[in-house]
Amino acid sequence: MMELHKISRRSFLKATALSGAAAVFSHPLSGGLVSTASAAEAPIAAAAEEETKIVKTCCRACIHNCGVLAHVRNGRVVKLEGNPEYPMSKGALCAKALSGVSALYHPNRNKYPLLRVGKRGENKWRRIS
């Protein structure tokens, strides 16, 4: 018969704290004991060289049309954040708005209107011209 090892609450908390500390100190941006700064510096340096333009616009993900600041780099939106000057939302954005970048560039997004040609659930569509 297999014997169960008894672990005290104190030893469990010690082990959890040690594993958490090891995870934090091994993270490249923490500057901890195990650092891979050279690998982390390359994307940061490349991003610093590229100019990011901020464009004021409105979100169309829901009916509220909140004010958005779109960060555009090389003609592509890289980040969306709330516009603090917009009087209705005052810089706040919902989850739909924050996922707008992935909705804009996802490969399976709808790029044109579709019309169902098969029965419901068959997933047969044709493009409307």
For 30-72, write each residue's pLDDT tens digit.
454 444 444 555 566 555 556 888 888 888 777 778 888 888 8
Residue 41 lies in a domain: no
How many domains are contained in the chain?
1
Residue 121 lies in a domain: yes
How many percent of the chain have pLDDT more than 90? 0
CATH code of the domain covering residue 86? 2.20.25.90
Residue 73 lies in a domain: yes
**pTM score, whole prediction:** 0.48
Residue 90 lies in a domain: yes
Nearest to 84 by CA among 68, 97, 73, 100: 68
Residue 1 lies in a domain: no
User: Where in the sequence is the domain holding 75, given as residue range(s)?
Assistant: 51-129
Residue 45 lies in a domain: no
Annotated catalytic, 90? Answer: no
pLDDT value of residue 32: 47
What dihedral do alpha carbons 112, 115, 118, 122 form, nearest 10°?
A: 40
Among 96, 111, 119, 124, which one carries the catalytic annotation?
Answer: 96
Residue 29 lies in a domain: no
